[in-house]
Amino acid sequence: MKYRIAQILSEKTLGAAGTEVIDIDVQDPISQLILEYKSTRASNTNAGHVAGNLTKIELVDGADVLFSLSGKQMQALDYYDQGKVPYSFRTNAIGVMELLTLNYNFGRKLWDPLLALDTKRFRNPQLKITHNPAVNDASASAHTLKVLGMIFDEKQVSPTGFLMSKEIKSYTAGADGSYEYTDLPLDHPLRKLLIYAYDDAYFPWQVANEIRLSENNDRRVPIDEKVSTLMKLVNSQYPKFVEELYAVLTTVISDHYVTPGFGTEVFGGADGVAGAVGVEAGTLHSPCGLYGAGSYNYRLQVSGFNPHSVVPVLFGDQTDPEDWYDVTTLGNLKARVKAGSAGTAGAIALFAQQFRRY
């Protein structure tokens, strides 16, 4: 068999909140890590997205951080990496488990022979996952975690490096029209720069309105563009993000923290009875305000773009490492983000995907 699926962590019941530390003991190159997270609902009230329960996911080798992202960032990055929707099952039904699949890709695709994590090059790689089941359901306490590794087995590969992704900066947006400056890393070529721009009541471009990249103190400005324009460009290249939602609804509007952050559409109906679902006017983002014809359970399909209100800047042909943004020769590279009309309510984060050579 050329490949194998390794259980790095068998399904484990987690505590109320904390950090799970998992040794990566496999000796063969890893193409992809898969996290399967389940959280059992204890109330019908949503406080956030279930991916928010995984507040930090990082792979470390001592003090060396090989990747570090939140659950939301990892889910969005996987979508923009693979052009596919990772499976999830969303619900607010008491006693029913929400299921979240998070994939971390060390290569351009699954089984990429050129880019993979060669564990033999590191001394003691560990996966650290910080979790809190109360993020999306304040009453929840029962949740589990499973970790799989997609491993090269009999197929002999010699990867030249891997994709390393880290949050660079997170902050609360300033007043409308204000600027935030961030020094971007220059140690490895950039494949993507991603902007998380979220607020409960706004679209991504209303939180982060513009982004500008400046090389060597404005000697060259490769990007100076509105986020809304970048959204149009990238959303024409990717399929809609589609997820399944099993919702307990009443005639009163309730918030549902869906994954798409823009252009949200909801289809479906009540389970076993005639009852249409309604969507609150103006909420084509997350959270989406939903209500029913009565107090019924609804089977819904939710679709849209920009998962978790993340918008990527794609550098070059994403399949060709030689085409990515080689920043290693620059003296400095600064990102300038202009705040939008959400004002000081929005949350912004910048995270980058880099090509780290061995």
What is the distance between the alpha carbons of residues 216 and 188, in angstroms, rounded to a whole number?
17
Q: Per residue in 222-274, pLDDT tens? A: 999 999 999 999 999 999 999 999 999 999 999 999 999 999 999 998 887 77
The two most distant CA atoms of the chain are separated, in Å, by 64
Amino acid in the structure at residue 326: D
Q: What is the mean pLDDT of residues 161-183?
A: 97
List the strands of the sheet with 254-256, edge to edge.
254-256, 288-292, 277-279
Distance separating alpha carbons of residues 41 and 46, to the nearest angstrom: 10
Is the pLDDT assigned to residue 2 strictly greater than 90?
yes
> Which domains are seen in the chain, by residue range?
1-159 (2.70.9.10), 162-358 (2.60.120.730)
Asked if 126 and 24 count as a contact pair (C-beta separation under 8 A), the reply is: yes
Please report the pLDDT score of residue 60 as a whole number. 98
> What are the distances in angstroms from CA 1 to CA 154, 156, 310?
6, 11, 38
Q: What are phi and psi of 61, to 5 degrees?
A: -130, 90
- CA pair distance 210, 306, nearest whole angstrom: 16
Q: Mean pLDDT across the chain, nearest whole number?
A: 96
Distance CA 292, CA 278 (A): 6
Residue 329 vs residues 38, 185, 338: alpha-carbon distances, Å: 44, 11, 27
Q: How confident is the model at residue 300 (pLDDT cuts 50, 70, 90)?
A: very high
Distance CA 189, CA 357 (A): 9
The alpha-helical segments, DSSP class H, found in the chain are: 71-82, 204-207, 227-235
- How much is the pLDDT for 269? 87
The pLDDT of residue 102 is 98
Task: With cut-offs at 50, 70 and 90, classify the pLDDT of residue 159.
Answer: very high
The pTM of the full predicted model, rounded to 2 decimals, is 0.96
Residues 94-105 as b/e (b if ≥16 CB within 10 A, e otherwise) read eeebbbbbbbbb
For residue range 260-291, what is the model confidence (pLDDT) as tens digits?
999 999 999 888 777 788 898 878 899 999 99
Backbone φ/ψ region at 282: left (φ over 0), alpha (ψ -120 to 50), beta: left
In which element (H, E) is residue 56 found? strand 54-61
Per-residue pLDDT at 167: 98
- The pLDDT tens digits for 30-81 are 999 999 999 999 999 999 999 999 999 999 999 999 999 999 999 999 999 9
